[in-house]
Amino acid sequence: KNQVEQSPQSLIILEGKNCTLQCNYTVSPFSNLRWYKQDTGRGPVSLTIMTFSENTKSNGRYTATLDADTKQSSLHITASQLSDSASYICVVSDRGSTLGRLYFGRGTQLTVWP
Amino acid sequence: EADIYQTPRYLVIGTGKKITLECSQTMGHDKMYWYQQDPGMELHLIHYSYGVNSTEKGDLSSESTVSRIRTEHFPLTLESARPSHTSQYLCASSGATNTGELFFGEGSRLTVL
User: Is the predicted pLDDT of residue B32 greater than 90, yes or no?
Assistant: yes
Across the interface, whether the CB atoms of B100 and A4 are under 8 A apart is answered: no
* Cβ atoms within 10 Å of A100's Cβ, excluding its own: 16
- Nearest CB among B4, B44, B101 relative to A34 is that of B101
The predicted pLDDT at position B40 comes to: 86
CB-based contact, B106 to chain A, within 8 Å = yes
Residues of B in contact with A105 (CB under 8 A): 42
The predicted pLDDT at position A94 comes to: 87
pLDDT in tens, A45-103: 999 999 888 899 999 999 999 999 999 999 999 999 999 999 999 999 987 555 678 99
- Nearest-angstrom CA–CA distance, B61 and B74: 18
Of A113, A7, A31, A105, nearest in space to B100 by CA? A31
Contact between B77 and B65 (Cβ < 8 Å): yes
CB-based contact, A96 to chain B, within 8 Å = no
- Across B31-41, average pLDDT: 93
Residues 6+ apart with CB under 8 A from A36: A44, A45, A46, A47, A88, A89, A90, A91, B102
- Nearest CB among A34, A43, A106 relative to B90 is that of A43
Residues 6+ apart with CB under 8 A from A18: A76, A77, A78, A79, A80
User: Is the predicted pLDDT of residue B100 greater than 80, yes or no?
Assistant: no
- Nearest-angstrom CA–CA distance, B6 and B16: 22
Across the interface, whether the CB atoms of B100 and A105 are under 8 A apart is answered: no
- Nearest CB among B40, B100, B102 relative to A32 is that of B100
pLDDT in tens, A16-28: 999 999 999 999 8
The predicted pLDDT at position A101 comes to: 83
3-state secondary structure B8-40: CCEEEECCCCCEEEEEEECCCCCEEEEEEECCC
